[in-house]
């Protein structure tokens, strides 16, 4: 029995070992089998960070394929606070490169987190500087940043995208559903000490890019329009200006220039008023340019003919206890001369011959009081009141371009009706949508809205408007070698302080088309609050001429001037 205690101890020890082994075995089974999925997720959380990045945005090109908006891969900087020895020192080092206050960076780097964004989508120059100074706990990933290689060119049409890649203004906003790419997920991985963070299989996870847009815009025509508008702005010291060039046969937008301009690459410091597309959002009283539309209605309804005699009342006529003046004292003149000399009294009499209901119906038919439906955001419908809301003088006032609000886009669309034989076209700026591989997904064709006047009436009004340029107020719009049809306009602005017409604030404009016998370009020029001379024939018509001259030459449109041959003569 002496060995009995020894055997008992061995048995107990063996039992303890077996129990311990059983516990370890059970724990292994629990970790490897029962809790495997849960622990795998926990391990991934400790060693990986998933960050959502937007996919590549589609490009925007002009009608000839010249790039106007594109994506560039630029670095975004992040930090791993748990891996930093000195957040304060790291913040001071990064501050001048990232252009972020050191205190703001330090606050982020002191958080008890494994990942924080420090700066998104750096400039290329910032990225280059960052590459020269690698630091523990600081890393970068590439993200797509929207870039506009032409700077301010066409900015009000293109708009811009925000830091998150979403379109905020212009075409970027209007076609957001086409342009944006799929969201991309980047998996960032670090070691057990948290010292290394890097993308894992990022390229394999990259999704398809967004669709690209082909515009009706011609970069060269856009450049000419912007250049000439800026020169006019500098000369007249005006508050703002607009130039729109349309193809009157199709409604395709060839150029849209707004001043003041802005650079869509740098919008952070700008106010919304700077990037507002005034051609679509700002309604103004058109003044005498409306007389061309009233003339078309009168001719279509046969209440006037070009040779109909109209008495100009020697420059002064009383209507509804108010006096209408002309800038020159006219006696008997033809209806064509009423338009060519821009007679307010003649226009008022024309409106009265039509009557309020017919005039209102034609103004609606030409597109006033409603959006043109161009594929750009923010368009206003202008102002056209129902005749039941007109006052005693409204019929006369509207006939000479007062008591009605139009946008430049509405007016150039209306003048295109006269240029193309009487049809209102829907203006548009995007002609094609293609996928990332260049396959055509959607083609936008010209769209007829309605016939407004007969082709005969359109030809008759065109002939009258040619006289505006050859013998009337639009002489400075004349382009040598080409027949130009158009109308000047000078409108007083309402003084917001008094609610009456201002004696110092005007809108000068010219709207027309060329060549008059086979129109290729319809164009409007609006100069808002020019200083000094304010007549449309003096401030806007010259811009029409300079833009038209260059664009016709660029398009290779032949002039009507006969070719002059140099003849060699012999000496006697």
Q: CATH number of the domain that 231 lies in?
A: 3.40.710.10
Of 154-168, 190-204, 439-453, 463-477, where does mean pLDDT reach its minimum? 190-204
DSSP assignment of 66-125, as one string? -EEEEEEEEEEEEE-GGG-S-HHHHHHHHHHHHTS-HHHHHHHHTSS-S-EEEESS--HH
Q: Is residue 408 part of a domain?
A: yes
Indicate the number of domains in the chain: 1
List b or e across 332-364, with b for residues whose CB sees 16 or more CB atoms inside 10 angstroms.
Answer: ebbbbbbbbbbbbbbbbbbbebbebebbbebbe
Helix (H, G, I), strand (E, B) or coil at 503: strand
Average pLDDT, stretch 315-328? 92
Q: Is residue 149 part of a domain?
A: no
Tens of pLDDT, residues 99-137: 888 888 888 888 877 788 888 888 777 877 877 777 778
Other beta carbons less than 10 A from residue 233's beta carbon: 20
Q: Which residues pair with 61 in a beta bridge?
A: 67, 214
- Residue 461 binned pLDDT confidence (cut-offs 50, 70, 90): very high
Q: Are 342 and 472 in contact (CB under 8 A)?
A: yes
DSSP assignment of 528-572, as one string? ES-SS---HHHHTHHHHHHHHHHHHHHHTPPPSSPPPPPPP----
Q: Is residue 476 part of a domain?
A: yes
76 vs 365, higher pLDDT: 365
Q: Which domain holds residue 394?
A: 219-428+444-555
Average pLDDT, stretch 270-285? 92
Residue 288 catalytic? Answer: yes
Supply φ then ψ for residue 157, to 5 degrees: -90, -45
Residue closest to 330 by CA, chosen among 348, 347, 311, 349: 311
pLDDT at 102: 86
pTM: 0.83
Radius of gyration of the chain (CA): 35
Of 267-271, 335-339, 479-483, where does mean pLDDT reach its minimum? 267-271
270 vs 281, higher pLDDT: 281
- What share of the chain in percent tops pLDDT 70? 87
Which is catalytic among the residues 288, 394, 397, 509? 288
Sequence-ordered list of residues with C-beta below 8 angstroms from that of 297, at least 6 positions apart, any chain: 354, 358, 359, 362, 363, 453
Compute the distance between CA of residue 39 and CA of residue 32 in angstroms, rounded to an integer.
9
Average pLDDT, stretch 529-554? 96
Q: Are 179 and 167 in contact (CB under 8 A)?
A: yes
Q: Which residues pair with 501 in a beta bridge?
A: 494
Compute the distance between CA of residue 241 and CA of residue 261 in angstroms, rounded to an integer.
10
Query: Measured between alpha carbons, how far is residue 570 from residues 56, 347, 565, 567 in Å?
Result: 71, 60, 16, 10
Residue closest to 532 by CA, chosen among 238, 176, 290: 238
User: Burial level of 136, CB count in 10 A (0-12/13-18/19+)?
Assistant: middle
Other beta carbons less than 10 A from residue 409's beta carbon: 28
Helix (H, G, I), strand (E, B) or coil at 268: coil
Tens of pLDDT, residues 148-171: 999 999 999 999 998 777 889 999
Q: Is residue 75 part of a domain?
A: no
Q: Is residue 280 part of a domain?
A: yes
pLDDT at 490: 94
pLDDT at 46 over 90: no
């Amino acid at each position: 029995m002496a060995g009995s205690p020894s055997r008992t101890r061995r048995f107990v020890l063996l039992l303890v070992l077996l129990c311990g082994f059983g516990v370890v075995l059970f724990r292994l089974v629990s970790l490897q089998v029962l809790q495997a999925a849960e622990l795998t997720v926990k391990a991934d959380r400790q060693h990986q960070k998933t960050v959502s990045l937007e996919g590549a945005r589609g490009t925007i090109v002009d009608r000839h394929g010249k790039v106007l908006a594109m994506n560039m891969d630029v670095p975004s900087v992040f930090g791993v606070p748990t891996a930093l020895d000195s957040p304060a020192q790291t913040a001071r080092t990064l501050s001048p490169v990232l252009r972020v206050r050191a205190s703001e960076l330090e606050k982020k780097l002191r958080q008890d987190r494994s990942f924080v964004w420090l700066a998104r989508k750096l400039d290329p120059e910032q990225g280059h500087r960052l590459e020269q100074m690698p630091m523990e706990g600081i890393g970068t990933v590439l993200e797509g940043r929207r870039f506009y290689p032409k700077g301010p060119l066409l900015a009000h049409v293109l708009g811009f995208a925000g830091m998150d890649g979403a379109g905020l203004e212009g075409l970027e906003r209007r076609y957001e559903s086409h342009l944006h790419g799929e969201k991309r997920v980047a998996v960032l991985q670090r070691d057990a000490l948290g010292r290394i963070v890097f993308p894992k299989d990022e390229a394999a996870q990259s999704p398809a890019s967004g669709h690209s847009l082909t515009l009706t815009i011609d970069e060269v025509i856009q450049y000419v329009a912007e250049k000439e508008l800026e020169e006019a702005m500098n000369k007249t010291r005006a508050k703002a200006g607009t130039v729109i060039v349309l193809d009157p046969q199709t409604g395709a937008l060839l150029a849209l220039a707004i001043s003041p301009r802005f650079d869509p690459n740098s919008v952070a410091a700008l106010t919304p008023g700077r990037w507002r597309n005034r051609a679509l959002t700002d309604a103004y009283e058109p003044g005498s340019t409306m007389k061309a539309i009233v003339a078309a209605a009168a001719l279509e309804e046969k209440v006037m003919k070009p040779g109909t005699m109209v008495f100009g009342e020697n420059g002064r006529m009383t209507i509804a206890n108010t006096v209408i003046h002309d800038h020159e004292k006219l006696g008997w003149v033809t209806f064509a001369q009423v338009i060519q000399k821009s007679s307010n009294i003649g226009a008022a009499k024309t409106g009265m011959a039509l009557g309020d209901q017919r005039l209102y119906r034609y103004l609606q038919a030409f597109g006033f009081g409603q959006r043109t439906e161009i594929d750009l955001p923010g368009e206003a419908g202008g102002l056209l009141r129902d005749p039941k809301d007109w006052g005693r003088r409204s019929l006369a006032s509207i006939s000479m371009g007062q008591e009605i609000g139009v946008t430049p886009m509405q007016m150039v669309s209306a003048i295109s009706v006269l240029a193309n034989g009487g049809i209102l076209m829907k203006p548009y700026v995007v002609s094609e949508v293609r996928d990332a591989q260049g396959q055509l997904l959607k083609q936008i064709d010209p769209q007829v809205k309605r016939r407004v006047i007969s082709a005969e009436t359109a030809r008759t009004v065109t002939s009258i408007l040619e006289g505006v340029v050859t013998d009337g107020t639009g002489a400075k719009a004349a382009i040598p070698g080409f027949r130009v049809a158009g109308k000047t306009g000078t409108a007083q602005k309402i003084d917001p302080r008094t609610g009456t017409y201002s004696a110092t604030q005007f809108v000068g404009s010219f709207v027309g088309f060329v060549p008059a016998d086979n129109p290729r370009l319809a164009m409007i020029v609006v100069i808002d609050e020019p200083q000094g001379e304010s007549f449309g024939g003096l401030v806007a018509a010259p811009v029409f001429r300079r833009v038209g001259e260059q664009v016709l030459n660029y398009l290779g449109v032949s002039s009507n001037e006969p070719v002059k041959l140099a003849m060699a003569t012999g000496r006697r």
